[in-house]
Chain A
Amino acid sequence: DGGITQSPKYLFRKEGQNVTLSCEQNLNHDAMYWYRQDPGQGLRLIYYSQIVNDFQKGDIAEGYSVSREKKESFPLTVTSAQKNPTAFYLCASSKMTGNQPQHFGDGTRLSIL
């Protein structure tokens, strides 16, 4: 089945630790996105990538980093500089040809130990 796979489903971070969230898609989509969702809130854009080896900051990029070495993969690193990392992280992808819906994975819930 085509889709977006996020792993792990649950992740715990210690103080001062960097953690990396995985996102893989087999939809052959060019664009990929990372969002953060806090309880009772909408989705806020962290980073997005329109093409391999290129990415742009979203609205809340501070304390996060990404890479896009392969079309299928867009990992997100939550660094120790992100002081409030507890949230639900969602990865999405879409075609780049005109307005197309973004398709989401089932998220990673990150908590602080």
Chain B
Amino acid sequence: GESVGLHLPTLSVQEGDNSIINCAYSNSASDYFIWYKQESGKGPQFIIDIRSNMDKRQGQRVTVLLNKTVKHLSLQIAATQPGDSAVYFCAENGGSNYKLTFGKGTLLTVNP
């Protein structure tokens, strides 16, 4: 079946640098995408979402880019801080109004 995947399982950056986490999706019916952050022993925390009628959306220090042509999603974190260290998941809706399919996650490590 179709699934959400990630290009890199781990990413290590220096504090203050920008981070880019990538996600590929294959379900052409998906029109809603979300990024979550999960710290060790906790549940995923919503970061930002984007609908398919947009190609970019910005939040506080985060930007999500959506390229529907190549089915690619990315999360950019500006001025990465040690508190950003976590696993980041992308999720897609597969055309559903309520169900989500999650990728396996990327572990982001921020070095001081």
Chain A residues in the interface with B (C-beta under 8 A): 4, 6, 31, 35, 40-43, 45, 48, 50, 90, 92, 94, 96, 98-107, 109
Contact = CB atoms under 8 A, between A and B. Distances in A.
B42 A41 contact: no
A90 B36 CA distance: 14
A99 B51 contact: yes
B7 interface: no
Interface stretch (B13-21, B55-63, B74-82, B101-109): B101-109
A90 B43 CA distance: 7
B26 to A, nearest CB: 14
A46 B34 CA distance: 20
A42 B100 contact: no
B32 A99 contact: yes
A107 B43 contact: yes
B103 A104 contact: no
Contacts of A40: 104-105
A42 B103 contact: yes
A90 B91 CA distance: 15
